[in-house]
Amino acid sequence: MATAPRVVALIAVRNEADIILENVHALSAAGISAYVIDDGSEDGTVECLRPLIGRGVLGIETLPPRSDFNLRRILERKERLCR
């Protein structure tokens, strides 16, 4: 008997504390797990997600600090995770 595929959302965040919990809960309610890539949040985004690890959030990683926004490195990280 084949098992159903697991769906995981790769979410890149930066200062999303005001909306991230609502989004993760909506994904979880739809049977979708989240893996979060933090790009230097300074507003408590990561801290508010930590209690959800194992309960909708598979993991959280923080990219090395940079002063500028760099979409390429976020997309490259997502690509590596997909492999």
Residue 6 binned pLDDT confidence (cut-offs 50, 70, 90): confident
Model confidence at 16: pLDDT above 90:
yes
Which pair of tokens denotes residue 27? 């994904």
For 30, other C-beta atoms within 10 Å of its C-beta total 9
Using CA atoms, how far residue 54 sits from 8, 13, 49, in Å, is: 13, 19, 11
pTM given for the model = 0.88
pLDDT score of 68: 81
Model confidence at 2: pLDDT above 80:
no
Model confidence at 1: pLDDT above 80:
no
Provide, rounded to the nearest whole percent, the portion of the chain with pLDDT above 70.
100
